[in-house]
Amino acid sequence: MLPLNQAEFFFDDQLSSISTDFTHSIWIGSENGKVFKFSNYEVKKFNLADDRIYKVSSISYKSDTLLLVASRNNGLEVWKNTKSKNLIKIKTYTIHNKGYQYSPYDYIMDKDSLFVATSFGLYKTSLKSDFIDMKPVITLTYGTQNKNNHLLIIHNICIYRDSLILGSTSQGLVSYNRNKNSYTYLIKNKTIEYVSVFRDTLYALSGNYLYSKSYDQKNWKKKQVKENSKVFIKNTDTLSTLLSSHHFTLTYRSEKFSIQNLDGFPLSYEGRNICITDSLQKLIYVISKNALWKIPFNYNLKYKNENKRIITSFQNSSFSYFLTSQNDLYCLKNNSLKAYWVCTLDQNQSIAGIDVIGNYLYYYTDKNEVYRIKIKLKSFYPLAKSEFIFKCPSRIISTFSSSENLTDFTYLIGTQSGLYYLNKDFQIKKQYSAESLYITAFYKLNKNVYFSTLNNGIYLYSDTLKKISHTRDYPSIKDFILKNINNKEFIILTNKHIIYKKFKFPVYSLNINKLKPVNDSMFLAISNKGIYPFYIHQDSFQIKSPGFQNLSIYNSLVQSNDILLCTESGVLKINSDNLKKYEEIHLNKINYWSLFITFCFFFCFIFYTIYKTVYLKNIKLECRVQKLKDLIIDLPDLIKNSDLEILDIYWNIQQNLSITDKKKPKNQKNFYTKQINSIYSLFILILLKQKKQLKEINSFESLKMISKSEEIQNTGDCYKLKICIDTNYLWINDFYKLKNEITEIIRLINSGIIIEGYTDVLLNHMENMYKSMYDEKIAVLRFKKDHLISDFVKDNNTNIYSHIHLKKEIMLIRETLEKYTLYNSYTDSMRVSLAKYSQLSDYGHEIWKILKDLKEIKVQTQILLILNTVFNLCLKYKSNIDILMKENTLNSNTSIVNTLYSETQNKNFILSREIDELLSTFFKSLPKDEFNLITEVLKINNFKSQNAKILVLLLSDKHIKRTIIPGILNVYSNLNPIISRLLNNRIKNNINAIEEFELSHPNSLIAKILKSLCK
């Protein structure tokens, strides 16, 4: 697999699409509706939608630049840039019968038409009319349903020979003729994942096959490709791209090169816009899950000699080191033409960079892991193994080492998120003063070490980092060199220029990656297109004719006036005075076959000697040690909450036994005896702790186990002790587990309604079982408990009579609710729940919720009874008043009216007193939550106050006449201000809190009536 080397940009959001527009800007959509504009290596973010973006691009319309945004289930939207540089939505295209609730997966603009591929077919609209004022209806070009009435989903579309619009669909490859306004299927009854056109050739991707044909060909050419491929793009005559959800394949002519170190592609939906081609810059842009990748057309896809391809290198004062694509390490003595093979590193690792300090090679991989390995020059060193040091949390960009010995050295690791260094104990530490810096390159001159960052300038490395102030305004620094240490004259490479003092040389099209100083007046710019020599003249420099333009160069080293080029075919040595002549460095690898035979004889002899003296003895020790390990293998669970003394003994034993894996003890017998004694002491301590726990339980069964433990303790047998400890551990755990389960069941029963002959029976059993835990066997109690609960939650013959009691209780509560028709609108949810519960034949584990709901509903019926009684008494009070008023109107006899008035006053006084008693009863009957609602939300704490009494009257009848409220309460004053303040200040102002309470208490009668009072 080939490494992709560098991701241009990483994003915090999960990406979903990429597209380009007429300005060559790149637009990237995300899964969360964000849009990113990528132009000249700058990113601008817009929040335009709430869901996945399938495609976004800009178009020029009159003097405005408009943005077309295709998002999931939101249709195709048009956005306009305002003077304040904010985007506003000015149009959403709709389709017939769906409005804007459709998904536009792709769209193209050609001449005066806009074609849109959607989840309901292909649509078009004309762009001739005024874009802003046009009607938001896209004319249908052909039906959204096929003959089998399945939705016709179009994945992507493209233009072929000006007149044809091609679409990849789940039913085949469809071709729409815009001139004839008709369509036909070029490929039928196959799911076409992607359709694309290059020059005059049409490509269609379906399943494991790629179909292609030119305009004058009748038959399709068929070629097998990777399984589950989703996108195929022909980039150039010789280069093509194939993508699936987790594979990215570049094909150069007929050779395939897979790149799979990208973190997945967003292809799990119908959208296919994840790859674009920039023919002008000769680049391929691809988005993975969280990154935008840039791949040049001349990416190194073909290698004449794979074994000699140099992927990285390192140089110190005496030697140069080269690593090939096969992970062969070579060493070259300076001023020599022969490089000697040192060793071969792990070929399963993809190594990105190397450094040599003393006899150790330090290297890092594409997985951002740092290793070191001991090397020995000019000799075969087969026993060396790579030692893992550190895994960096972010991608490693560059490293630096400053010494050739291990007594005084510096090893720096530059990453995308900061700087790390290796201390003298060979531990990686983070340089917190450089946290969050994106480090791109290092450079050393004399004793000073500098490093560059992507967008924060250049720093001088020391105990406290010193920023070079005049470099902070240079964006996207890739590399740099220092010409004059006194004046700090840097030559800086960015992605657009090489900068020296105030002089800027444009290099955007040269694709330069590194700068190499040759002497005071010359430096080289290394590109994968060749070498560019620059000559410094006062405050500027000039470029001379490049060399090796047809050679892919990965790195370079400088020896005096000589330059070593690391290429795809080996190492070339050139002189800075003549860049056209070169000498090849010979990479001499050792003869493996002769070494293999030699070492076979050597190892046979060593093996025979070791076997006679050590091996048989070690086998006996290993068997003994393994038995000891088996004794303590499951102790961590037993001792996790133990005293420090027990833990210390255990970890000492564990450490002593693990040492034998690396180093065998001299006196094996004493070692074994010491460890078995330690294990015995450990078991005794654990057993003493268990006996204490059993004694605290103090049941008849635990006392028996104490007696058994004391008997085994006196035997001195470790294996019997281990069995006893395991038995005690399981019993103690089972005891407390059963105790907790019974306690929880009792809590569940008490939180629900108590039904005679049903839940009260189970509660009685559970309480008796809890008491008998100390007199009966735990296993018997567990069986009883499981059997009771199984009968309780299942509808079978053993508990059918108990279920009759439950059905009866549900029926009684339903009948109670049906009596109070006045409050039907507030008891809908309760009646629905009761109807649902009465129809269930098997309650299962839902029984606990049902019982809890029934308890809540029954409490609400009690509140309902009080409110209904208050309502009826108020109604009777009003009726008495109405009769009196009628008699007063009809009867002119004053004495009769006075007598009737006196009788009515007496009756209503009795009614007022009854109502007053009910008002007090109402607050006492409230559940805790409703009580808190009235006291904490409505701030009514004095239940004898006028506010409290008026509240109950309003709850009983929200239409009660305000004129009779003073009489009902025996108050002879105007209560309208109090009623208004109660409604407005205490109830309506707290509507949000009341609604939240109703959501959490759907059966609350008080909350529902209070909510209705706000309307």
List the Cα angle 776/782/784 in 5-degree steps: 85
Reported as a pLDDT band with limits 50, 70 and 90, residue 170 is confident
Measured distance CA(744)–CA(793) in Å, rounded: 15
pLDDT of residue 42: 75
> For the residues 362-372, what does the mean pLDDT come to?
89
pLDDT confidence band for 803 (50 / 70 / 90): low
Residues 6+ apart with CB under 8 A from 604: none
pLDDT tens-digit map of 896-905? 767 777 887 8
Q: pLDDT at residue 266 above 60?
A: yes
User: How far is Cα 952 from Cα 867, in angstroms, rounded to an integer?
Assistant: 8
Farthest-apart Cα atoms in the chain, separation? 141
Beta bridge partners of 981: none
Indicate the pLDDT class of residue 106, thresholds 50, 70 and 90.
Answer: very high
pLDDT band for position 304 (50/70/90)? very low
Residue 867 burial by CB count (10 A; 0-12/13-18/19+): exposed, middle or buried? buried
How high is the pLDDT of residue 69?
92
The H-assigned helical ranges of 124-248 are none
pLDDT higher than threshold 50 for residue 440: yes
Q: Which run of H or E residues covers position 75?
A: strand 75-81
Alpha-carbon gap, residue 604 to 367, rounded angstroms = 38
Name the 3-class secondary structure at 921: helix
Q: What is the mean pLDDT of the chain?
A: 80
Contact of 3 with 350, CB cutoff 8 Å: yes
More confident residue, 969 or 797: 969
* pLDDT attached to residue 53: 92
pLDDT of 380 strictly over 80: no
CA dihedral of residues 552, 553, 554, 556 (deg, nearest 10): 170
Mean pLDDT for 687-708 is 88
- Read off the pLDDT of residues 821-879 as tens digits, 9 standing for 90 and up: 777 788 888 888 888 877 766 666 677 788 888 888 888 888 888 888 888 888 888 88
**Structure tokens of 1013?**
């009072």
802 has a pLDDT exceeding 60: no
Cα–Cα dist 1006/77, whole Å? 46
204 exposure class (CB count in 10 Å sphere: 0-12, 13-18, 19+)? buried
pLDDT tier at 717, thresholds 50, 70, 90:
confident
pLDDT for the residue 371:
92
Please give the single-letter amino acid code of residue 134. M
Write down the pLDDT at residue 638: 66
Distance CA 789, CA 766 (A): 10
- What gap in Å lies between CA 832 and CA 222, rounded to an integer? 62
**Where residue 156 falls among pLDDT bands split at 50, 70, 90?**
very high
R_g of the chain, CA atoms, integer Å: 43
Question: 104: which 2 tokens?
Answer: 């536009």
Q: How many CA atoms lie within 13 A of 478 on its CB side?
A: 21
Containing 590, the helix (H) or strand (E) segment is none
What is the tens place of the pLDDT at every residue in 384-412? Answer: 678 888 888 888 888 988 765 556 677 88
pLDDT score, position 624: 60
DSSP state of 138: P
Question: What pLDDT band is residue 202 in, cutting at 50, 70 and 90?
Answer: very high
Sign of CA dihedral 930, 933, 938, 939: positive
For 638-651, letters b (16+ CB in 10 Å) and e give bbeebeeebeebbe
The total of other beta-carbon atoms located within 10 Å of residue 817's CB is 19
Can you tell me the distance from the alpha carbon of 342 to that of 357, in angstroms, rounded to the nearest whole number? 15
- How many CA within 13 A on the CB side of residue 407? 0
Tell me the β-bridge partners of 206. 209
Model confidence pLDDT, tens digit, residues 912-961 = 888 888 888 888 888 888 889 888 988 888 888 888 888 888 888 888 88
Is the pLDDT higher at 554 or at 923? 923
**542, containing H or E segment:** strand 540-543
The Cα–Cα gap between 1006 and 991 comes to 13
What whole-number distance in Å separates Cα of residue 349 and Cα of residue 312?
A: 14
DSSP letter for each residue of 637-661: HHHTT--HHHHHHHHHHHHHHHHTT
Range scoring the smallest mean pLDDT among 132-146, 469-483, 809-823, 920-934? 132-146
Q: Give the pLDDT score at 430.
A: 82
Q: How many CA atoms lie within 13 A of 251 on its CB side?
A: 14
Q: Is residue 363 pLDDT above 90, yes or no?
A: yes
Please choose, from the candidates 854, 834, 851, 857, the residue with its C-alpha nearest in 3D space to the C-alpha of residue 762: 851
Q: Are the C-beta atoms of residues 263 and 289 closer than 8 Å to each other?
A: yes
Q: How confident is the model at residue 134 (pLDDT cuts 50, 70, 90)?
A: very low
pLDDT reported for residue 377: 65
Q: Report the residue count for the chain.
A: 1015
pLDDT band at 28 (very low <50, low <70, confident <90, very high): very high
| Percent of the chain residues topping a pLDDT of 90 | 7
Residue 83 is given by DSSP the state T
- Amino acid 544 reads K
Task: Report the sign of the C-alpha dihedral through residues 250, 4, 564, 520, in that order.
Answer: positive
CB atoms within 10 A of CB 609: 11
State residue 621's pLDDT score: 53
DSSP assignment of 325-382: TT-EEEEEETT-SEEEEEEE--TTS-EEEEEEETTEEEEEETT-EEEEEE--TTS--T
- Burial of residue 506, with CB atoms counted within 10 A of its CB: 0-12 exposed, 13-18 middle, 19 or more buried: exposed
Per-residue pLDDT, 833: 80
For the beta sheet containing 154-160, the strands, ordered from the edge strand earlier in sequence to the opposite edge, are: 154-160, 164-169, 172-177, 182-188
Residues 6+ apart with CB under 8 A from 901: 884, 888
The C-alpha atoms of residue 288 and residue 291 are separated, in whole angstroms, by 5
Statement: residue 262 has pLDDT above 60: no
Whether the pTM exceeds 0.85: the reply is: no
Q: How confident is the model at residue 167 (pLDDT cuts 50, 70, 90)?
A: very high
Q: What is the pLDDT of residue 646?
A: 72
Q: What is the pLDDT of residue 611?
A: 61
Give the pLDDT band of residue 83 (cuts 50, 70, 90): low
For residues 983 and 960, what is the distance between their CA atoms, to the nearest angstrom?
14
pLDDT given at position 563: 82
pLDDT band of 210, cuts 50, 70, 90: very high
Angle between helices 668-697 and 718-751 (to 10 degrees): 30
Report the alpha-carbon distance of residue 1002 to residue 388 in Å, rounded.
59
Q: Cβ neighbours of residue 823 under 8 Å, at least 6 residues apart?
A: 864, 867, 868, 1005
Which class for 351: exposed (0-12), middle (13-18), buried (19 or more C-beta within 10 A)? Answer: buried
Q: What is the pLDDT of residues 494-504, one digit of tens each?
A: 877 899 888 88
Residue 531 CA to residue 667 CA, distance in Å, equals 67
Q: Does the structure show a pLDDT above 50 at 426?
A: yes
Q: What is the pLDDT at residue 889?
A: 74
Does 190 score more than 80 pLDDT? yes
**Of 627 and 751, more confident:** 751
Residue 835 CA to residue 817 CA, distance in Å, equals: 12
Given this model, what pLDDT does residue 719 score?
81
Distance CA 78, CA 84 (A): 18
Query: Pairing state of beta strands 87-93 and 75-81?
Result: antiparallel
Nearest to 53 by CA among 86, 83, 22, 79: 79
Q: If DSSP states are collapsed to H, E and C, what string results for 995-1014?
A: HHHHHHCCCCHHHHHHHHHC
* Cα separation, 210 vs 728, whole angstroms: 68
Instruction: Note the pLDDT tens digit of each residue in 627-663.
Output: 666 667 666 666 666 666 676 777 777 666 666 655 6
**Do residues 195 and 202 make contact, with C-beta atoms less than 8 angstroms apart?**
yes
CA atoms within 13 A on the CB side of 817: 25
> Which of 416-430, 493-507, 518-532, 666-680 has the weakest average pLDDT?
666-680
In the structure, what pLDDT confidence band is assigned to residue 142 with cuts at 50, 70 and 90?
Answer: very low
Long-range pairs for 119-125: beta carbons < 8 A, 24 or more residues apart: 119/151, 119/153, 119/270, 120/95, 120/144, 120/151, 120/152, 121/152, 121/154, 122/154, 122/157, 122/165, 122/167, 122/174, 122/176, 123/95, 125/93
Which range of 56-70, 177-191, 262-276, 820-834 scores highest in mean pLDDT? It is 177-191
The rounded distance, in Å, linking the Cα atoms of 335 and 842 is 90
Contacts of 408 (CB under 8 A, 6+ apart): none
- Res. 144: pLDDT tops 70: no
Instruction: Report pLDDT for 644.
Output: 66
